[in-house]
Every structure is written in structure tokens, then in C-alpha cells.
Amino acid sequence: MSMENVVRVRLTWIKENNSWKGLLQHGTRLGILLLTAALYAPALRFGFLWDDPLWYGRVVGAPFWRLLLPLGNFQFYRPGTMLINALFARTDGTFPAVTMHAFQIGVHLLNAALMIRVGRLLGLSAAVVTGAMALFALYPLAHQAIVWTAPQQAWVILLLLAALWAYLEGRRGRRTAWQWAAVGLYAAALLVQESALQLMPVLLWLEWRERQTWRERWRAPLLWACGLLSLGYLCVWTQVPRLEGITRVAFEGRVAAYLLQGLAFPALGFPQGFPDALRPYTGYILIGGAVGLSVALWQRRAVLWGGLIWFGAALFSSWAGLQYDYVSLGARLFYLGAPGVAVLWAAALHPSKGATWLRRGVGTSLALLILVQSALLIEHFNRAYAVGAAHLAALVAALDPAEAAPRLFVNFPDRYTFRREPYPWGYWGVTLAPVVTPLEDFARMVRPGGPETMCLSVPTLPSVAPAEGPYQVDMRGMGVEEATVYQAARETEGTYLTQYRADGGFDLAYVGNVWSETPSWANSERGTPSARFGDMAELVAVTSEYSADKLRVTLRWRVLQPGAYTEVAFVHLGQPGSAPLAQNDSPPGQGVFPLWAWQPGDFVEDVRTLDVPAGVLPPGDYEIMVGIYDWQTQMRRPVYRADGIPCPDAALPVGKLRVGAPLHLGVN
């Protein structure tokens, strides 16, 4: 670049950045970055999910040189990814989830900032660059790639944008340092993920656009260097041993339609759910979006072809080599094509010079509507992820690292999706904890040690996801009856049940356990009620606790013989002789240890909760009563105290809740 051109570029930069328009542009870009950071900040609490334990487990304890070699248990060759993951591994094999989420969000923000520099070097106007940066930063289909810790798509785009920046600087200024940087950054991107090859079609398009003759186009040493690097990488990548069964020659039409959603995203994303009335016309919407972009950008065909080449090259390998069952779960793939999509829509919505004020106003209004819709979709996805993340956090808290005995989890969610999904094709829910990953591995990602786990599902329990709830849930483990859960509990030291609320939330509750041998508490507890319920069971001990408007009562039974299918236990709170003011009538263990499944000689711990809002009950003393009855005949089993005296109304008083100032809980 001549001195005259350098001075001209410098003066242009000074003029743009010192005018009020320049200051407005910078303020807008900074605001977009801050908004993006705020929208993705909840991901800092999302922890680890899906196959994170398996993914990061590959680098734990592995020496540096081993990470550079192919892994026989992995379907791709990505040594750069393994090295990045190894940077976060602690000496005890755990990983800092918050730091890794912050890293992922930071990479995305850097990518948005790089969009500005690369766009200006490509000759895009300041307004188009700002629009492209905003659409990229808030691109809703990129959500999965940002809020997980494992996806490499954002890392690859960071390296590719940096490589493209260095390439543009190197080819225009003939500066060796920039040229070496371009080749080095491209090589690093290839080692992180094979999708980095998408840069080559973009570079070919760039050279075709910039050079005027065929002879000049072939005189591009930097292009040749990147091309030879690509060929060498392909030779290595195709020969290294990898896990088979994931990639193959596919070219499925469903995959193409799924990926094209990323190009027509403003017309397809609905936080309230994609309208059923539009589903028959989805194909026409995709075609209409592509045609509309082409028409809007026909006068700027360089931008049109550049954006389409980036988008097509980014997603071609997914269409060519992956099946729909794999791709439909991978919304993170859309991140690779996001820069191209953002440039296309930004340029289409911002008319060229000379357009009428009406045309400019319509374009600006549409851009703002798209950004609002994108922000709403990101928040919509965040709420869904927050539900599962909180549930996994409760799991980690429940698995005490000091304990060694196994734990049983019932109805724990495998994955869940929106009943009304925002896009017409693909899976847009949360793959939380598939059965291929033991639950204890999620806890061991955070802290070493801890008990092993067992998972079963009982779809007939009333605690499963209600049909009117916002999510459709698939649960971990084999579907069984309650008797199987009862038998499994005898082999563990604690049973936990996932309970699904109507608002879509998940609650993890400890519901008790079953022992075939006498547990320590059966002989050690003193001063608690002891009573016999007919010829079926003895109540050995009772404890109760009141906190946060919840009365938690733990009943510990010795089984004499099983009950009937229609019998349940109850815990009532109220005044003697009056109807209960709060109650919990259910089979023990919130339904997982029904009385008919009890085995003689076993000990059963039954934990149940009553909702007792302190501001609802008038001051006074309220009895906590326990009994067993047949819901079909409404007949109660007789209850006899330890001294043989029968209890009135076949209900055993086990404690008192005193409501007043201060609130007091007593146990008889």
C-alpha cells in the first residue's frame, strides 16, 4: 500500500470516528455488546449437562502429547479442542463451570467485535457493519453454541474471523507478519474443528472479486498457502483412526431444510411456538426468504454472493456427512453460518445510497423487530435451560462426596422440549442428562468422589410432567412399576424423586428409603412415638421440621405385612375433631413405596411435605396426625399406642405446630 493510500485510509478513519455519526455508531455497538452480555449472563449458572462429563473426561490426566494424537473413542480429530479443554482441567479432575461459561460468552462477544473490523475491511458501510454485528450477536439459533461449555463453533469462528482479518491486511499491505498470522490462525482453526475448511471458499470468492484477470487470480501466494494447508489437513484427517458410525455420505433433504432455517430465521422463530397454521407453508417461507434476500441485494451482488458462500460453506459438511437424527439436536451448528446470515440480512435491510426515507425507515423498523424477536427467543431458551440447570445443581448438592453408598433417582429428566417449539424442524428443547452418562459423573465434574447412582422411571406417578405444562419430558431409566422401585431402594441408601410442577419447574425431593436389615436409626432414636397400625406396620420414629412455609414430616416404619392396593398413609395438620387444614394423603415415599409393595421385616422411611403458609393459619396449636386408610372404602386401620391403648379416630398424634409469634414446632 502506497503512502498516499495509507494517509487516505487514515484520514477516512479519523473522519468517521470523530463525527457525531461515528460516535453514535460506536455507542450503538457498545450497547449491543452490553445487551448481549446481559442476555447470556444467566448461562453462568447453567453448570454442566448432556455429555460434558464424557467430553471433558477425555483430557483428564492425559499428557500434552497424547492430546495431539487421534482418540479411538471420539468420532473426530480435533487436537486443538482437546488442548483448550485441558486448560480448564483441575488437578483433581474437576472443571470450573462458571469460568468455562464466561469463556464461551467472552468468545462470542469477541466474534461480534471482529465482525466490525472484518466487515469494514471488506468494504461494507458502517451502518451495514453495525447491523450485521447486532444480528450476529443476537442470532437466536446460536444460543446452544454459547450457553454450553463444550461446543467449539464459537472458537472456530473466532479463529476464522481473525484469520480473515489477517488475510485481508496481509494481501493488501503485503506485510509478511500479517500473512504468517493468517496462515497460523487458519491452521489453529483447523485443529480445533474440521468445519474451519469453510474459509477456503470464502477466500476463493475474495480473490475472484478483488483480482481483475485470470492471471492475477492465480498469483495469490497467500491463497495458495492456505489451500496447501487445507489439502494437507484433509489428508491427515481422513486417515486418522476415529470412532465410526457418526459421519457418512448423507445429503438428506430433511437436513437441508433444517439448516435453511438459519437463513430465513426472522420469518421462522416464534417464542410462543411456531404457528400450526403455518407449518404446511414452511417450505414456501424458506424459498420466499431466499428469494427476498436475493431481490433486495441484487444491486449489491458481491455482498449477496459473499454471504451465501459463507453460509453455504459453513453448513455444507453437515448436510453432506451427518444424518437428521444427529443434526436435529445440534442447533450449535448454526453458529458456523451466522456471520454470513447476519451480513445478508443487515445489507438487505439497509438500502444503498439514494434510497427514499420511507425505504430506509421500513428497513430500520424491520431490523429492530428482528432484534427484539431474537432477544425474546434467547430469553425463552434461557428459561428452559435454567429449569434443568437448577435441577442438576440440586443433584450435585444431594450427592455428598463423603458418602459411598449408592443413591436411587426416580423420574429424573433425560431431556425435555417445548410443547410448542419455536421452529418448525428439529429438536429445540434441552438434552439434560441422557442415560449414557451416569448421574454421579455430573457431580464429579464439580467435586471429586461421591456415591454411584441408579435411575428408574415410573410414568404412572402423579408427579410426572402434567399434560398442560410447557414441556414434554423424557425421563431417565427403564419404565417400571412401584414394586421395582421398592426392591431397588433396598440396594441403596436414599431415594430421590423428581416432581414436575404445572409451571414447568422441576423439584428434586428426598422421599426416604427401604432397608431389608435393621438400620442404625431403628435402635438409636429415643423419645419419639411408637405405635402399631393394625397388623400391617409399626411406626418406629417420627421427626418433623418447619421451614419456608413447608412442614416436612419423616415417618419411619417397621413392616409386619403388606397393605392393600387401595391403602395410603396420611399426615394431617389441624385441630382435633375438625377437618384437616393441611394434609398429605399418598402412598409412602410420594408414591414410590406403596403399602402393597412392602415386605415383612423391612424398614421404610417415608418423607412427605405439607404446604403450611404461616400467614394463612390463625394463631394456635395444631396437631400433626398420622394414619392409614383405604381410599376406596374410606376405612382407617386401627392405631394402637405402645401401651396398647387405641387412638381416637384411628389417627396417631405425633407432634404440634404452634402458629403465633414466634412460630414454634413441637414434637410429642
pLDDT digits (tens, 9 = 90+) for 265-284: 888 899 999 999 999 999 88
Measured CA to CA, the distance from residue 17 to residue 26 in angstroms comes to: 8
pLDDT at 212 over 70: no
Q: Say whether 341 sits in a helix, a strand or coil.
A: helix
Judge whether 454 lies within some domain. Answer: no
Same domain, 336 and 190: yes
Residue linked to cell 404445572? 502
* pLDDT tens figures, 388-399: 999 999 999 999
Q: From the CB of residue 85, how many other CB atoms can be counted at a distance below 10 Å?
A: 23
Whether 609 is in a domain gets the answer yes
Domain count, the chain: 2
Q: Are 140 and 265 in contact (CB under 8 A)?
A: yes
Domain end (from 383, 418, 448): 383
Q: Using the 8-state DSSP alphabet, how is residue 636 labeled?
A: B
pLDDT score, position 201 = 94
* The pLDDT of residue 649 is above 80: yes
159 vs 364 pLDDT, higher one: 159
Q: Identify which has the larger pLDDT, 660 or 515.
A: 515
Taking only Cα atoms into account, the Rg of the chain, rounded to an integer number of angstroms, comes to: 31
Q: Is 94 exposed, middle or buried (CB count within 10 Å of its CB: 0-12, 13-18, 19+)?
A: middle
Task: Please give the residue range of the domain that contains residue 99.
Answer: 3-383
Q: Cis ω on the peptide bond leading into residue 662 (within 30° of 0)?
A: yes
Whole-number pLDDT of residue 12: 57
Span 294-331, pLDDT tens digits: 888 888 888 999 999 999 999 888 888 888 988 898 89
407 within domain boundaries: no
- Lowest-confidence region among 16-30, 98-112, 117-131, 342-356: 16-30
Beta strands in 575-617 (DSSP E): 582-586, 603-611
Whether 658 shows a pLDDT value over 90: the answer reads no
Virtual torsion, Cα 285, 287, 289, 291, nearest 10 deg: -150
Q: Does residue 38 come out as left (phi exceeding 0), alpha (psi in the -120 to 50 range) or beta? A: alpha
| Pair 121, 165: CB distance under 8 Å | yes
Domain boundary pick from 368, 383, 398 = 383
Higher-confidence residue of 238 and 544: namely: 544
CATH code (residue 534) = 2.60.40.2060
pLDDT digits 0-9 by tens, 496-532: 999 999 899 999 999 999 999 888 877 755 545 689 9
Classify the C-alpha dihedral 70-74-78-83 as positive or negative: negative
Q: Tell whether 462 is covered by a domain.
A: no
pLDDT-based confidence at residue 174 (cuts at 50, 70, 90): low
The C-alpha cell that represents 590 in the structure block: 410420594
pLDDT of amino acid 668? 41
Question: Residue ranges of the alpha helices (H) in 425-499?
Answer: 439-444, 482-489
- Model's pTM, two decimal places? 0.90
What's phi and psi for 457, nearest 5 deg?
-125, 140
Asked if residue 415 has pLDDT above 80, the reply is: yes
Pair 378, 523 in one domain: no
Confidence of residue 173 (pLDDT cuts 50, 70, 90): low
Distance CA 634, CA 464 (A): 26
Please report, in angstroms and rounded to a whole number, the separation of the first and last CA atoms in the chain: 91
Region 445-469: mean pLDDT is 89
Task: Evaluate whether residue 565 is within a structural domain.
Answer: yes
Examine residue 245 and state whether it is found in any structural domain, yes or no.
Answer: yes
Query: What pLDDT is stored for residue 527 in this prediction?
Result: 42
| Positive or negative torsion for Cα 130, 136, 137, 138 | positive
In the predicted structure, residue 590 carries a pLDDT above the cut 90: yes
pLDDT tens profile 596-635: 999 999 999 999 999 887 677 777 888 999 999 999 999 9
Cα–Cα separations (whole angstroms), residue 625 to 385, 395, 609: 40, 31, 13
Whole-number Å distance between alpha carbons of 449 and 471: 33
CB 328 within 8 A of CB 427: yes
pLDDT, the chain, mean: 88
| Predicted pLDDT at 240 | 82
C-alpha cell at 529: 412415638
Q: Residue 541 falls within a domain, yes or no?
A: yes
Q: Is the pLDDT of residue 215 over 70?
A: no
Last residue of a domain, one of 334, 358, 383: 383
Give the residue, 407 or 404, on which the prediction is more confident. 407
Q: Is residue 20 part of a domain?
A: yes
**What is the 8-class DSSP label of residue 199?**
H
Find the angle CA(547)-CA(553)-CA(558) to the nearest 5 degrees.
160
Lookup: cell for 290: 431466499
